[in-house]
Amino acid sequence: MLTEEKKKEIQRFAKLIRLETFKELGNLGFGHIGGAMSIVELLAVLYGDVMNIDPNNPKMEGRDWLVVSKGHSGPSVYATLALKGFFDKELLMTLNQGGTDLPSHCDRNHTPGIDMSTGSLGQGISMALGVAMGNAMDKNDNFVYCIVGDGECQEGQVWEAFMYAGNHPMKNLIVFVDNNKQQLDGYTDDINSLGDMREKIEDFGWFAQEVDGHDIEQIYEAIMRAQESEKSSAIVLHTIKGKGCNFAEGVELNHHMKFKKEQMDEAIEILLKEGDE
């Protein structure tokens, strides 16, 4: 269980992740702001307490892995890695520009701390499963975490991975579904409804949970329960796309947005005025 002090520390970390993500996207004037904002609290929990990592040795043997299958949320992942010291924060200002080491989608060949190149939706969960299987064969006790989007879960390959890992349990694999109920061009229920994701995944033989994806304590406790399971584990996060960005949150087409400097300046000002919960 998180102490009150640790909870506040992770909440402050989440606020800093949002702030740095705002800055890097604001420097461009466009970007994948919707899906980057919806996983901020998850990233804060993983990198603020849960994961076994070493920023000074990103390829550390026995480290925990994170595979961000919804690779377009790279900006918030990059902000998290920079804040943890994997690379200098100044690099964030090169996001998605020529010659950058921070491309639009996560790329392990460019960015320290990125364990797997992703962005071709549907494929990341299969790669995470493969890594988990390899680690298990090598008798490593580290965890592989994977983040998939709800729109991404319309891809058949996602369900092939769920099916396989249900029949061949990988207790070192924990998958998060960012259920922000929106995808690139609309609401998931309007385009191709996913129904009850927790129930579906459970029917495939997984240990499945669902929590508020912006509640630090709920996320943490769900991960602790998942780590104790002998099955492959999935945690459905009920989130808000664009969470914490006043001009993106609640907007239908907020997957990739253009915006004015004044809009981002205002979003940053609002964020800085918010007190820690």
Statement: the pTM of the whole predicted model exceeds 0.85? yes
Identify which of 120, 178, 118 has the alpha carbon closest to the alpha carbon of residue 148: 178
User: What are the φ/ψ torsions at residue 202 (nearest 5 degrees)?
Assistant: -60, -40
**Count of structural domains, the chain:** 1
Percent of the chain beyond pLDDT 70? 99
Q: Which pLDDT band holds residue 119 (cuts at 50, 70, 90)? A: confident
What is d(CA 100, CA 89) in angstroms, rounded to the nearest whole number? 13
Strands 173-179 and 233-238: parallel
Q: What's the pLDDT at 131?
A: 97
The mean per-residue pLDDT over the stretch 95-114 comes to 94
83 pLDDT above the threshold of 70: yes
Q: Say how far residue 6 (Cα) sits from the centre of its chain.
A: 20
**Which residue range(s) make up the domain with 78?**
4-273
> Within 13 Å of residue 163, how many CA atoms lie on the same side as its CB?
5
Q: Which pLDDT band holds residue 277 (cuts at 50, 70, 90)? A: very low
> Which CATH number belongs to the domain containing residue 30 in this structure?
3.40.50.970
Identify which of 101, 151, 154 has the alpha carbon closest to the alpha carbon of residue 254: 151
The mean per-residue pLDDT over the stretch 180-200 comes to 95
What is d(CA 120, CA 101) in angstroms, rounded to the nearest whole number? 18
Distances in Å between the Cα of 6 and the Cα atoms of 1, 10, 40, 45, 248 are: 10, 6, 17, 10, 29
Identify which of 51, 100, 50 has the alpha carbon closest to the alpha carbon of residue 78: 100
Q: What's the pLDDT at 1?
A: 84
User: Helix 124-137 vs helix 156-167: angle between axes, to the nearest 10 degrees?
Assistant: 20
Instruction: Please name every residue paired with 187 in a beta bridge, in sequence order, or none if there are none.
Output: 182
User: Helix 4-28 vs helix 216-228: angle between axes, to the nearest 10 degrees?
Assistant: 110
Q: What is the DSSP letter of 113?
A: T
Average pLDDT value over all residues in the chain: 96
Contact 60, 54 (CB under 8 A): yes
